[in-house]
Amino acid sequence: MPRSFWKGVISFGMVAIPVKMYTATETKTISFNMLHKTCMTRTKQVLYCPTDNEYLSRKDTVRGYEFTRGQYVVLTDDDFEKIPLKTAHSITITKFVAEKEIDPIYFNGSHYLEPEELGVKPFRLLNEALLKTSLVGIGKVVLQRREHLCCVRPLGDIMALDGVHYKDEIIPMEQFAVPKAEVSNAELDMAVSLIKVMAGPFEPEQYKDEYQSALKELVEAKIKGKKIVAPAEPKIEVGDLMASLRASIAAAKKEPVAVR
């Protein structure tokens, strides 16, 4: 059983639900160490003070905010605990919206929410009420010394908390301009046909990170002293669009779309 990293309450209206929060995802990648290439010794990151010509450990440092050039105000862990925000220990829901109204570009990381013993009944009540209304809760919570916008939604017997970007964190799409191009009805119909042939349920268990698998194979080959041969770069050819669509539909009908 994973350990919770945050405890607090979900609050909406006058209702308070004691909950625990857990990390919902993990990144599985091969890790590498930085080595000194002349002797193959693992390097260390160090902190250096140019004024005292001294190397430091993390415990010898404090957090400073530069309020004017060269002038700092120091904040301690105790100072951060005193920040006057009710969201410091509470997931404060201020509004309920339809999840489909939130563009996926706004979502940023997911966590699991589980009730404390005293909060089981109100937790279940909120979960079932969200399912019945097809709505999700929008609120705020302080995590890692930052107030995050968040979305609380039902997820089986528990609930999920998804981070939500603030509007000013989204790069305006108006910065990007795609040249206009005429698409014929025949081309559009053919593209729709290809999409329908390739359509199916989302089954995440059918996909894997092929890059990590290939990287593991490369590492094993290096350990065994085998020769590494780089794959040929794919040739990108933009030919007759209708011919490509027809060939794609024919291929998709012969065998299921490959999942990786």
pLDDT in tens, 161-187: 999 999 999 999 988 888 888 889 999
CA 80 to chain centre: 26
Collect contacts of 153-159 with beta carbons under 8 A, ≥24 apart: 153/99, 154/127, 154/128, 154/130, 155/112, 157/127, 158/112, 158/113, 158/114, 158/127, 159/112, 159/113, 159/123, 159/126, 159/127, 159/130
What is the C-alpha to C-alpha distance for residues 138 and 184, in angstroms, rounded to an integer?
42
Range of lowest pLDDT (113-117, 136-140, 221-225):
221-225
Q: Average pLDDT, whole number, for the chain?
A: 88
What is the C-alpha to C-alpha distance for residues 141 and 106, in angstroms, rounded to an integer?
16
Q: Say if residues 137 and 151 touch (Cβ distance below 8 Å).
A: yes
Q: Does the domain made of 6-26+82-169 have the CATH classification 2.40.290.10?
A: yes
pLDDT in tens, 141-157: 988 878 999 999 999 99
User: What pLDDT does 192 receive?
Assistant: 93
- pTM of the prediction? 0.77
Confidence label for 97 from pLDDT (cuts 50, 70 and 90): very high
Confidence label for 260 from pLDDT (cuts 50, 70 and 90): low
User: What pLDDT does 256 receive?
Assistant: 61
Q: Domain spans of the chain?
A: 6-26+82-169, 178-195+239-255
User: What pLDDT does 210 receive?
Assistant: 87
